[in-house]
Structure 1
Amino acid sequence: MTIVLARNSPTEVVASTVGPLGELLGEARVLPFAQLAAFVAEREGRPEAERWVWSDSSRWYGDLLSAGVRVRRCHDLRLSHAILRNSTLTAHTAFARSEPTDWSLPAEPLSAHVVPAHSTLFDLGETMASGRGAANEDSVAEYRRQLMALSEVPDAGRLRLLLAAESVGALIAAEMRHAGLPWRTDVHDAILTEELGPRVPYGTRPARLEELAGRIRDILGDQSVNPDSPQNVLKALNRAGLMITSTNRWELAEQSHPVIAPLLEYKKRARLLTANGWTWMDQWIVNERLHPDYVPGGAATGRWATSGGGALQLPRQVRAAVTADPGWKLVVADAAQLEPRILAALSADTAMAAAGRGTDMYAGIVASGVVESRDHAKVAMLGAMYGATTGESGRLMPKLTRAYPRAIRLVEQAARAGERGELVTTWLGRSSPAPGEEWREAQRRASQPGANAAEESRARSRAREWGRFTRNFVVQGSAAEWALCWMGEIRNSLHAIQQRSSTPPARRAAASGAVFESIPHLVFFLHDEIIVHTPEEHADEVAAAVTEAAAFAGRLLFGDFPVDFPLGIAVVDRYADAK
């Protein structure tokens, strides 16, 4: 059964039961927000899973979790709207051709700072009634329009799978934010103290950074140098005879001067202070848990982003702080060479798929005699997917093209489409954005009679740049779809493990909240890597389930095409020990 939830007022929710075409089945039920959790819990307790339809999982689901309620399925209207609105598969439909509405606006970030994963249903009412957080159009009507658009797409199975995967991803994102990533603040503080020196008041440079700053000034013979100011440093380096144009670490690393080593060291440690220092720890770690704001579909390719907390950029320096609770373990898994394997499946290139069967794909490419070393295989493959045509990548491309013509043809066709300003589409149906106005203006100017050489060069450069984007879009976007299906199946498997278990864990993870304190649950996701926090007694079963979920995701997307999706997997106490 499908139930659409929508706000009725700042303190009320309307629950509408709808049929397969979005038609209302009976009278809608009006509930006070305070009764919503009990209503959802009662429905979730039935054997047949409900499908909840709501405007935005990030706005609705967190409060249900705080009330101890987990849902099995949902349809996220805002995320689905974005896909259906922009996909080439729906471009002919009235839905895609209609004027933009409030549903076309991205959701606002949840918060500028972390909110412990235990807000209230009253907060939900306030949020849903304000600004863009509210579904200013009727949710039932929007759901009906989306179903109509799907009905007008021939063979819409892949697109339906994408909407389901995107929606379950939104549930997982809310669950990971709620449960949080296990974190030891004492370990984090020790790491910071070792790297930076003892903690100092905000705005004060720690001792280790102050020491490096002094060395930099002494070497340059200029006590006015401020290592935190790129412009100031650049001018000082130029005065010292280093005629560089920026202070990025790649350009600095190419220079030979005594100041380079301490300057690079300063930048590395200063980055740690800024991105994951004490202020970050105070803001984002609550009850020994990191609660970041994940943004499913935050990138054009469908990859996730974060609006706060920086979970997608946890440096190796602080990963020792990610530590399982006593009596629990972390199951850490990452998909090996995911994008090349996705490319093999997308293009039905059986030779490339065979190179990775049962082995490291880059090693398999070497064993096939295509290139001389694993490094060459990796450089060549990344060049093919990201459009690097010069240097080592350019030299190796002909060999890769001869060995894997189907795969290379697919990315080349995607690149040429982008150069023409056309859209490209992932395996399940997410389409790339159109190039912007500056791109179109550059092409228009170059096509005019009397266009000069500079205008023509600029247009070609912009075209190639956009072609590199679309070349990678089809691969990266399809890899993101595989990852969503992988996580969705992991989520199902973890629930099944708990259902089969007849004994409670030896130790509860109370800081993960009532829903997750005694069951294995996902706590981290980074493109092709996940972490599950699990009671120790379930660790081996969880690891097996994570592995099988990867194979399941491959079959779900690509049927019986013979491509493997092997994992690197480890059962550890600390994230840092998994690599």
Structure 2
Amino acid sequence: MHLVLRRVDGGVLATPLTDAGAAGGEPVRLDEPGLPAFVAAHDAPGVRWVWDDTTRWYPAVLAAGGRVGRCVDLRLGRRVLRSALAARGSALAGAPADALDAPVAEARVVRPTQAQLFDDALFTASVPDDEVDPVAEFRAQLAAVAGSNAPGALRLLLTAESAGALVAAEILHAGLPWRADVHERLLEDALGPRVPYGVRPRRLEEIAAVVRDRLGDPGLNPDSPADVLKALRRTGLMVTSTRKWELQEIDHPVIEPLLEYKRLARLLTANGWTWLDDWIRDGRFHPKYVVGGVVTGRWAADGGGAMQLPKGIRGAVVADPGWKLVVADAAQLEPRVLAAMSGDRAMAAAGDGRDLYDGVVASGAVETRQQAKLAMLGAMYGATQGEGGRLVPRLVRAFPQALDLVERAARAGERGEPVTTLLGRTSPVPEDAWFEARNQAYTVEGTPAMQRAVESRARSWGRFTRNFVVQGTAAEWALAWMGSLRSRLLARFPGAVTDGPHLVFFVHDEIVVHAPAEHAEWVATQIREAAVDAGRLLFQDFPVTFPLSVAVVGAYSDAKD
């Protein structure tokens, strides 16, 4: 059964529907403050909550100590189905844009005043009525999936997206344990004593003096890439940028301090004292994820830098007393996904029970693990030059099916055609100007220079589509992994999120669970089994493995090399 929630006339309307979208009973009206109690009374294994956006509904339930097992997030479903190649002819794909296509207006949980503490409601939510009828939208999405040429895959993708929305909301609610005092100490060790905003810390000022001296420019502002680039060129260094990878290729006394300055300046900007003041509350960092925020389906972060926590501050992520952090990351996730989705048994065998890059070496394709890694990245990202580009042909001979898949995706992109992930997420196509320039370049008015320009743009778009199919499918595996783990944790610990083990952090192929110490090893087992679940869900019986590195630690930094 599905229970569809809609805000209307200042209250909430709950409409029961069957799995096919037919009426399943009489709608129920309730006041907004009664929503958590209603959810608690009606949530069950056979129930899916249908709402326009998880971020507008679930926070209120979580704030009241509740949870739901499953949901249907209509906004996420709309985004997938609007562009899905498999559902291109659906009525939903061609419907006019409406509020579900616009950025979400999130629910704002308002804490009770002293006078309200004896009311039945624990909170009120200041939110507008829903503009889009969720019952009609749910039925439209059901029809789009049923009428597509890949209903099973699309249905699984929408389910995974909605499960991810629940995970993201629970992580935001629970927060990642964070010791502000440890963070302060780490910053002081790296940068020197705390200084007011806009003042360069002592250590940065010391390094800046060295950089100025070695470039012979006493007035240089090392925070200005343009000024640094000019100073480097005046010294005779013909660099094109101040990017790390380019500077590392240069042999000059200024390079080491300049790179160190850039590293510490990044720490100050991204996770310095201002970040600490803005983002840490009551011993928690509350990552605000945007599910599917990247076009490939990867998550993004809405401020706070949740998708990357530099090594320099991971020591501040410390489990509560009596609790542990269970940190897990998937080894060589994207190459393993490529092996499975292409059906390349030789590549899958290379990673069976071992480091996949070591397996590539054992296959005879290359001589060293570093070569294997460079070649694999070159294949997935379209390298044609350098060591990676030189080694790719050797992978083609060793793993022809895998390399053919990404090559076909690249050629499709070069033609301006969309490509899809395993479950049907579809890449965008270039803008009209891209096609117009291509067509004009090959008319009688076209010139060789115009043709070279459009061919360069075509190759660039081909590199995007080449990576889209792999990165997007890896994102689907990660959603399935987290969804399975969440279900396992919820089955044993059905209370409030923070009462038992719960997810507190995620980035691409890595998760962190905060767990009571006595349950930490059990959680580690569940994480491994959830990875097996994800592989089977996406790739059925194909013989590919997804080994994990799992560590039970007191501080996040202890889990990393």
1:569 aligns with 2:550: yes
Instruction: Tell me the TM-score normalized by structure 1.
Output: 0.92
SS at match of 1:172: helix
SS at match of 1:312: coil
Q: What do the CA deviations read for 1:143-198 (whole angstroms, capped 9, x no partner)?
A: 11111111212451111011000000000000001100111111110000001111
1:385 aligns with 2:384: no
Q: What do the CA deviations read for 1:263-313 (whole angstroms, capped 9, x no partner)?
A: 211111111000000110111111111102100000011000001111111
SS at match of 2:218: coil
User: Cα 1:116–1:233, aligned 2, differ >3 Å: closer, same or farther?
Assistant: farther
Match of 2:404 in 1: 409
1:464 aligns with 2:459: yes
Contact 2:56 2:105 survives alignment (8 Å): no
Match of 1:339 in 2: 334
Match of 2:201 in 1: 206
Q: What do the CA deviations read for 1:365-419 (whole angstroms, capped 9, x no partner)?
A: 1112221111111111111111112222232222211111111111111111111
Distance in 2, matches of 1:556 and 1:90, equals 22
Match of 1:449 in 2: 444
Moved over 4 A (4+): 108-111, 115-124
Give identity over the alignment, percent.
58
Q: Which amino acid aligns with 2:18?
A: G
Match of 2:506 in 1: 525
- Aligned counterpart for 1:282 among listed residues 277, 281, 290: 277
Match of 1:548 in 2: 529
Q: How much does 1:218 deviate?
A: 2.9
Match of 1:55 in 2: 52
Distance in 2, matches of 1:117 and 1:222, equals 55
Match of 1:94 in 2: 91
Match of 1:43 in 2: 42
| Mapping of residues 56-455 of structure 1, within 5 Å | 56-107=53-104, 125-126=125-126, 128-129=127-128, 135-455=130-450
Query: Which stretch of structure 1 is more off in the superposition, 233-242 or 421-430?
Result: 233-242
C-alpha root-mean-square deviation of aligned residues, in Å?
2.1
Q: How much does 1:360 deviate?
A: 0.7
Distance in 1, matches of 2:123 and 2:219, equals 50
Q: What do the CA deviations read for 1:3-26 (whole angstroms, capped 9, x no partner)?
A: 1111113x3111111223323334
SS at match of 2:493: helix
Distance in 2, matches of 1:289 and 1:343, equals 37
Contact 1:62 1:117 survives alignment (8 Å): no
Q: How much does 1:99 deviate?
A: 2.5
User: Cα 1:84–1:118, aligned 2, differ >3 Å: closer, same or farther?
Assistant: farther
SS at match of 2:301: strand
User: Cα 1:183–1:544, aligned 2, differ >3 Å: closer, same or farther?
Assistant: same
Q: What do the CA deviations read for 1:473-515 (whole angstroms, capped 9, x no partner)?
A: 111101110110000010011123336xxxxxxxxxxxxxx82
Distance in 2, matches of 1:109 and 1:381, equals 41
Query: Which stretch of structure 1 is more off in the superposition, 214-223 or 288-297?
Result: 214-223
User: Cα 1:386–1:518, aligned 2, differ >3 Å: closer, same or farther?
Assistant: same
SS at match of 1:311: coil
Which runs of 5 or more structure 2 residues have no equivalent in the other structure? none
Contact 2:84 2:425 survives alignment (8 Å): yes
Instruction: Tell me the TM-score normalized by structure 2.
Output: 0.95
Distance in 2, matches of 1:242 and 1:401, equals 38
Distance in 2, matches of 1:369 and 1:63, equals 56
Q: How much does 1:124 deviate?
A: 6.9
1:28 aligns with 2:27: yes
Contact 1:183 1:321 survives alignment (8 Å): yes
Q: How much does 1:117 deviate?
A: 11
Contact 1:442 1:458 survives alignment (8 Å): no
Q: How much does 1:220 deviate?
A: 3.1
Distance in 2, matches of 1:232 and 1:65, equals 50
User: Cα 1:311–1:481, aligned 2, differ >3 Å: closer, same or farther?
Assistant: same
Q: Which amino acid aligns with 2:89?
A: H
User: Cα 1:71–1:290, aligned 2, differ >3 Å: closer, same or farther?
Assistant: same
SS at match of 2:499: coil
Contact 2:59 2:107 survives alignment (8 Å): no
Query: Which stretch of structure 1 is more off in the superposition, 28-37 or 421-430?
Result: 28-37
Distance in 2, matches of 1:237 and 1:361, equals 41
Q: What do the CA deviations read for 1:238-278 (whole angstroms, capped 9, x no partner)?
A: 33333333222222223333322222111111110000001
